[in-house]
């Protein structure tokens, strides 16, 4: 495991960092166990109140100098972060795969997303532009500009332990903000590794201490960030339950949030679909990352006339899946993150059966050689009605629910008939159906695809969803605007002072 040494991970690691400096604390110890083999890899301390205070104070102070760096100069630093990530892609991809359990290809893919967002942010650093408007008053000019906000708190989840941080951090930095990151307590070593990679670049460029901060810890540290009035924006990725707590706490102080929460993503399989192509999208969407992406395909809504044919193809494909060590590139499916996740998987299977679901591919926990961690489970498929409580709920595991439809209106109603609204797709060669699906009377999700599955979004588009997914947008398009404050400016270059709205006010 030379990747640990390459990434500067020791057996005991610090609780927090202000960029280059590490801070120790008296907080509790978090051990990182790999779901791949069940072994303890290393430990980190969690931040105590004192370490947290040092970090946020340093981040708030650093904002004053960082915001004065021209945006393209900040972009140049981010360009170098992208270069450093290219150099560390192999080691970091392996760590992601080992600590989180996703396949090595997906570990590399996640680092690639980090590189891509850095490239995107570099270009963006010269395009943080606002509009100019025509004033109603003569010899007046009106325009808007975008200013940095301050400290941005980033709370990320275990399933994308490095990429989601980078979507936020790369944009936040070019916009002139400083960042404080709380990685998931299930993947703390990924946080240490990224901190080390960035520290070398920041040191070289004399970036002020406090621009890139890290605090390790669990729920309590998340609460400190959410309550902290020095942090104008919290970007949180995770469960809807967590997001509601963060939204309430940050909202109570009228802070801003970007929330990227649960999904319950469906693919509609039309009678006019290319079924072989659809199969790849559905199987990868359902079993990739062992069903632990927020964009994982959880439901298939299949036209009644192709239901039997398509489910037969699915059953055959599931029979060919290789489950095992994700670092072995022959395997398709790795483990779940931990044994708690395995229990939730098993409970959902039981609930599904009790609520009337019928399994056409059975689930179960794998045992024996190579499965010692107890975290490897079989991807499974159940025929289940959309309204069942278990189907309405996001279970972070490879359980796929299939159901039939007759009309396209009915399929769209089923697709939309869940509390979440992240990603959606239709497989069809019928233009009328695909246009209806993409129209304002179609999918209610933040992401709607045609002839592509629900997972694997590119960084160039805005990423996020509606309803219980939280409404936030990250990554591409104009998602950067959420990391800045808008200021409207009106300038009078005349010799008179005409008032707006036609008001006469003579002295």
Nearer to ligand UN1, 118 or 164 (CB): 164
Distance CA 23, CA 47 (A): 9
The minimum distance between CB 84 and ligand UN1, in angstroms, equals 21
The minimum distance between CB 357 and ligand UN1, in angstroms, equals 24
Read off φ and ψ for residue 130, nearest 5 degrees.
-110, -170
Structure tokens at 466: 């509606």
Nearer to ligand UN1, 13 or 443 (CB): 443
Buried b (16+ CB within 10 A) or exposed e, 330-369: ebbbbbbbbbebbeebeebbebbeeeebeebbebebeeee
Residue 260 a catalytic site member = yes
- Region of 186-194, 358-366, 449-457, 499-507 interacting with ligand UN1 (CB under 6 A): 449-457
The minimum distance between CB 449 and ligand UN1, in angstroms, equals 10
Residue given tokens 């199987």 in the structure block:
283
Residue 166 binds ligand UN1 (CB under 6 A): no
Q: Is 361 helix (H, G, I), strand (E, B) or coil?
A: strand
- Residues 93-152 within binding reach of ligand UN1 (CB under 6 A): none
The minimum distance between CB 282 and ligand UN1, in angstroms, equals 14
Nearer to ligand UN1, 279 or 447 (CB): 447
In contact, 165 and 192? CB cutoff 8 Å: no
The minimum distance between CB 297 and ligand UN1, in angstroms, equals 10
The minimum distance between CB 471 and ligand UN1, in angstroms, equals 15
SS (H, E, C) 182-212: ECCCCCHHHHHHHHHHHHHHHHHCCCCCCCE
- Region of 50-58, 114-122, 170-178, 452-460 interacting with ligand UN1 (CB under 6 A): 452-460
Among 8, 218, 417, 456, binds ligand UN1 (CB under 6 A): 456
Residue number, nearest CB to ligand UN1: 457
Among 295, 373, 404, 434, binds ligand UN1 (CB under 6 A): 295
- Residues 13-52 within binding reach of ligand UN1 (CB under 6 A): none
Here's the x/- map for ligand UN1, 457-496, by CB under 6 A: it reads as x---------------------------------------
The minimum distance between CB 85 and ligand UN1, in angstroms, equals 16
Here's the x/- map for ligand UN1, 275-294, by CB under 6 A: it reads as ------------------xx
How many chain residues touch ligand UN1 (CB under 6 A)? Answer: 10
Structure tokens at 407: 């009309």
Read off φ and ψ for residue 83, nearest 5 degrees.
-65, -45
Distance CA 234, CA 248 (A): 12
DSSP lists the bridge partners of residue 400 as 381
How many CB atoms sit inside 10 A of residue 382's CB?
A: 25
Distance CA 201, CA 220 (A): 30
The minimum distance between CB 160 and ligand UN1, in angstroms, equals 5
Residue of 99, 113, 185, 260 marked catalytic: 260
Nearer to ligand UN1, 88 or 293 (CB): 293
Among 17, 159, 168, 449, binds ligand UN1 (CB under 6 A): 159
Here's the x/- map for ligand UN1, 63-92, by CB under 6 A: it reads as ------------------------------
Distance CA 268, CA 482 (A): 32
- Region of 52-60, 169-177, 378-386, 451-459 interacting with ligand UN1 (CB under 6 A): 451-459
Q: Is 33 helix (H, G, I), strand (E, B) or coil?
A: strand
Cα 343 to chain center, whole Å? Answer: 24
Residue 455 binds ligand UN1 (CB under 6 A): yes
Nearer to ligand UN1, 410 or 458 (CB): 458
In contact, 267 and 284? CB cutoff 8 Å: no
Distance CA 180, CA 101 (A): 25
Q: Tell me 36's DSSP state.
A: T
Residues in contact with 425: Cβ distance below 8 Å, sequence separation at least 6, in sequence order: 265, 266, 267, 268, 281, 285, 297, 448, 449, 450, 451, 452, 453, 454
Structure tokens at 134: 């025509």
Residue 160 binds ligand UN1 (CB under 6 A): yes
Among 13, 168, 216, 237, binds ligand UN1 (CB under 6 A): 237
Catalytic residues: 260
State the residues that interact with ligand UN1 by CB under 6 A. Answer: 159-160, 164, 237, 293-295, 455-457
């Amino acid at each position: 495991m030379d990747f640990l040494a390459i990434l500067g991970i020791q057996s005991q690691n610090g609780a927090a960092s202000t960029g280059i400096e590490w801070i120790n604390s008296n907080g509790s110890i978090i051990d990182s166990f790999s779901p791949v083999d069940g072994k303890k890899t290393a430990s980190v301390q969690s931040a105590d109140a004192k370490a947290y205070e040092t970090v946020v104070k340093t981040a708030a102070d650093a904002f004053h100098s960082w915001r004065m760096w021209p945006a393209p100069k900040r972009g140049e630093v981010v360009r170098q972060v992208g270069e450093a990530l290219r150099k560390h892609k192999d080691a970091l991809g392996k760590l992601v795969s080992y600590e989180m359990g996703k396949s090595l290809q997906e570990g590399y893919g996640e680092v690639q997303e980090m590189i891509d967002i850095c490239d995107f942010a570099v270009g963006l650093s010269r395009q943080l532009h606002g509009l100019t408007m025509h004033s109603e008053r003569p010899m007046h000019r009106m325009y808007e500009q975008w200013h940095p906000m301050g400290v941005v708190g980033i709370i990320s989840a275990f399933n994308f332990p490095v990429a989601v941080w980078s979507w936020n951090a790369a944009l936040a930095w070019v916009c002139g903000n400083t960042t404080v990151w709380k990685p998931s307590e299930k993947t703390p070593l990924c946080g240490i590794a990224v901190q080390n990679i960035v520290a070398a670049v920041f040191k070289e460029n004399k970036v002020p201490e406090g621009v890139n901060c890290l605090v390790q810890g669990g729920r309590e540290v998340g609460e400190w960030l959410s309550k902290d009035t020095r942090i104008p924006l919290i970007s949180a990725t995770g469960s809807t339950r967590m997001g509601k707590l963060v939204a309430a706490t940050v909202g109570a102080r009228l802070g801003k949030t970007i929330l990227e929460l649960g999904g319950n993503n469906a693919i509609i399989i039309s009678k006019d679909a290319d079924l072989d192509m659809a199969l790849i999208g559905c199987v990868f969407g359902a079993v990739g990352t062992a069903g632990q992406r927020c964009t994982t395909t959880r439901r298939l809504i299949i036209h009644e006339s192709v239901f039997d044919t398509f489910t037969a193809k699915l059953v055959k494909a599931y029979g060919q899946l290789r489950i095992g060590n994700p670092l072995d590139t022959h395997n398709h499916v790795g483990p779940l993150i931990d044994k708690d996740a395995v229990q939730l998987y098993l409970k959902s299977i039981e609930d599904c059966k009790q609520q009337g679901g019928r399994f056409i591919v059975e689930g179960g926990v794998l045992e024996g050689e190579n499965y010692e961690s107890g975290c490897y489970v079989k991807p499974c498929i159940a025929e289940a009605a959309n309204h069942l409580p278990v189907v309405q709920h996001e279970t972070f595991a490879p359980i796929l629910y299939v159901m039939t439809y007759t009309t396209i209106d009915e399929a769209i109603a089923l697709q939309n008939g869940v509390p979440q609204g992240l990603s959606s797709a239709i497989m069809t060669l019928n233009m009328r159906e695909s246009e209806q699906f993409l129209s304002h009377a179609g999918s209610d999700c933040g992401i709607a695809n045609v002839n592509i599955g629900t997972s694997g979004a590119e960084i160039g588009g805005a990423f996020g969803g509606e309803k219980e997914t939280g409404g936030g947008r990250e990554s591409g398009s104009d998602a950067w605007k959420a990391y800045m404050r808008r200021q409207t400016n009106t300038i009078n270059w005349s010799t008179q002072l005409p008032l707006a709205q036609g008001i006469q006010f003579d002295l």
